Structure 1
Amino acid sequence: MQIVVKRLFPFFLVIVIFFPIIFLPKGTVVLAVNSSRTPFFDVFFSKASALGNAITVIFAVLLVLKFKLKWLAIFLLAFAFQIVLVLLFKKGIYSGELRPYLYFKNAGLVDLLHLVEGVKIRYVNTFPSGHTATIFYLTSFFALFSRNRTASWVLVVLGFIVGLSRIYLVQHFFVDVYFGMLFGLLSSVFAYLIVRAHPKKWHSQQFHIDLHRVHRKTQDAINQLLNG
């Protein structure tokens, strides 16, 4: 556990520092962040928010495949943990919980919000932020893998920007983002500790993917279809 704390110190620090903010009146952070809207931030946060979706996970899997299977096992187990946690609360315990737009609309305060053109607004199932959970699971995983304190700081900032984007785009409250960060972080920590505590012979093995062969086989298949 000492290794985990050392490698993920910036992540634990963020969790501790921002903990008191979850007790602010609901919507306070949304209004504060959203009121700083500018054309630059509209584009920046719209792009940043996309880093927390499933496509990012797919690219990460391709990267992890280049390393020992132990890291793939940790990666996939952490992914499973964060998916279960998010679905348990979003679709189960807090199913139907209002997101910021509908919350402010019902309070007659929707005019206080500045919406970003082109961003589809969600209305319910706000807790927790799935995008934030995904990016924090990914960034904390790679922080564990990199074993580099500087890289860990860069990764936690990246994760926080994605979380902030969900508030700026009026998709989540701060508490949703905070627990998304926590769930993503804990998913990687638990997965790492479990796999490390139960070593297997295959953990030291690696995938050997012949990309040239894959490309050739794919091209042959395409040619057969075209000529068929």
Structure 2
Amino acid sequence: MSNALTDTSAHGTHLRRHVGRLVLKRVVAPGALLYLFLVGSGLALAHPLARLAAGESEVNRDLADGRTPFWNAVTSVLSTLADTASIIGSMAVFAVLLRVLYGRWGESVTLMTAVILQSSVFVLTAAVVDRNRPDVPHLDPAPPTSSFPSGHTGAATALYIGIAVVVGWRLRQTWIRWALVLGLAVLPFLVALSRLYRGMHHVSDVAFGMLNGVLCVVIAVYAFRPGRDADGDWPRVPVQRRRRSAG
């Protein structure tokens, strides 16, 4: 009994170290590179390239001049889809649904990693880059963070593109897969347009926010996609558990 407990404890310790090394290698390291890239891009747009980027303000002014009560309401709903509470709640719900649907944690962990990594990179980048928001009336309260990158756009991209990827790779019907992917892919673009319309971000802010979300999904899929068996890191796990034989 003592030997069995010792072996189990040693196996658990080895597994934790293995997973820790994998997370550092495949999530933290590329996430750090993404962070450095975004910080460099944001500082360039906020300072040496500020005059070149000034033309973006025309887009915000044109959108502000064309505001109507109808589109104010529509963009408010779309923007709310990507606020912090909505993203966290949706991520939690889909993580549970994916776990129940596929009987494993691979898809859920992939989705959560993409969303959490995007949020971490966004917060750390916004803390360094000091870019002012567009000089137009803001329809939403301006949070005490930089305009670069767009957190709403990045979060929507990580969540909805992440869902499209983790569900899409399990669907056999091609037309259903593409309908799902296209339908979910539209949402980040609508959120991005809403943030521009509401005067909260420049065009480059939402573009880099979307890039942040897409790359975080790529990093998460590379690290945790089910069926990964390279180097023996993530052996293939069957979608459905085999039934125990009655005999």
Tell me the TM-score normalized by structure 1.
0.66
Deviates more, 1:40-49 or 1:194-203: 194-203
Cα distance, 1:180–1:128 mapped onto 2, change above 3 Å? same
Larger-Rg structure: 2
Supply the distance in 2 between the matched residues of 1:98 and 1:123 (Cα, whole angstroms): 11
Structure-2 separation of matches of 1:194 and 1:124: 30
Matched, 1:79 2:110: no
* Mapped partners of 1:121, 1:55: distance in 2: 16
SS for the counterpart of 1:171 is: coil
Instruction: Tell me the equivalent position of 2:174.
Output: none
The CA deviation at 1:202 is 7.7
Please say if residues 138 and 200 of structure 2, whose CA atoms lie closer than 8 Å, have aligned partners that are also in contact: no
Q: Does 1:139 align with 2:169?
A: no
Residues 27-80 of structure 1, C-alpha deviations (whole Å, 9 max, x = no match): 122123222211100111011101111222322322221223001110121123
For residues 115 and 123 of structure 2, what CA distance do their matches in structure 1 show? Answer: 12
Distance verdict in 2 for CA 1:81–1:193, change over 3 Å: same
Cα deviation, 1:174-204, whole Å, max 9, x if unaligned, reads 1000011110111111101111344257896
Q: How many Å separate the matches in 2 of 1:203 and 1:120?
A: 47
Conserved? CA contact 1:127–1:176, under 8 Å: yes
Decide which of 59, 73, 98 is 2:90's aligned counterpart. Answer: 59
1 CA distance for matches of 2:216 and 2:182?
Answer: 19
The reply to whether residue 192 of structure 1 matches residue 221 of structure 2 is yes
Once the two structures are aligned, what percentage of the paired residues are identical? 25
Q: Distance in 2 between matches of 1:199 and 1:29?
A: 46
CA RMSD of aligned residues (A): 2.5
3-state secondary structure, aligned to 2:77? helix
Give the ranges of 4+ consecutive aligned residues of structure 1 lying more than 4 Å apart after TM superposition: 200-206
Out of 61, 64, 69, which is 2:105 matched to? 69
1:127 aligns with 2:158: no
Q: 1:98 aligns to what?
A: 132
Q: What is the Cα deviation at residue 159 of structure 1?
A: 1.2
CA 203–99 in structure 1, closer or farther in 2 if over 3 Å, else same: farther
The aligned residue for residue 178 of structure 1 is 207
Kindly report which structure 2 residues correspond to 1:101-116, keeping only aligned pairs within 5 A, or say none: 104=135, 113-116=136-139
1:166 Cα offset (Å): 0.8
Quote how far apart the aligned CAs of 1:165 are: 0.9
Aligned residues of 2:79 and 2:195 also touching (Cα < 8 A): yes
In the alignment, structure 1 segments of 5+ residues that lack a partner are: 1-21, 105-112, 207-228
More off after superposition, 194-203 vs 141-150: 194-203
- Structure with the greater relative contact order (CA < 8 A, sep ≥ 6): 1 or 2? 1
